[in-house]
Amino acid sequence: MAAAAGLALAGGGAGLAWRTARRQAQSLAEAEQLFWQQQFGQLEGGMLSMRAFKGRPLVLNFWATWCPPCIEELPLIDNFFMENKKKGWQVLGLAVDQAAPVTRFLTRSPLSFPVALAGFPGIEVSRSLGNSNGALPFTVVFGSKGDVLHRKMGKLSRDDLRLWERLPV
């Protein structure tokens, strides 16, 4: 009898875990679609629509000037962009920061790819895309259909970028 009760509890727990995982996956899929409807401020003024990036693979990097690993990985991301833009790859940096420090940083260390301002609400945008801890840096790779192919929490490596170059986009 105790064994049967144990099996019932284990089965119920597995069912609950499956439903929770399914709900989370559905929530992420919805967030991915909502992402393409968003706009973010540009340093030079105006808004940058995420729809402009749909249709080609995109590396979306959440970063901030006050985040040392973010700053350390930006040259790597810039090199990836320069080497792969002719292959159709796009890169967008979403700064979880304010305009003044981002402008100062980019004046000293210019990037070849566009940077938009998500401000501190950008942490919530990153969470909606799978960054459960809300930590930086956080990178999402979208395929040409707008679906998420890969997520990376923490500082990128050359190996991460090499892997992404080979993704079926």
Flag residues of the chain having pLDDT under 70.
1-28
Q: What is the pLDDT of residue 2?
A: 55
Q: What is the torsion angle, in degrees rounded to the nearest 10, for the CA atoms of residue 56, residue 90, residue 62 and residue 101?
A: -140
Res 18: pLDDT: 47
Distance from C-alpha of 144 to C-alpha of 53, rounded to nearest angstrom: 9
Which pLDDT score, from 0 to 100, does residue 13 have? 56
Q: For residue 153, list its beta bridge partners.
A: 138
pLDDT of residue 32: 82
Predicted local confidence at residue 24, as pLDDT: 47
CA distance 133 to 63: 14
- pLDDT > 90 fraction of the chain, expressed in percent and rounded: 77
Instruction: Name the residue among 114, 124, 74, 71 with its Cα closest to residue 94.
Output: 114
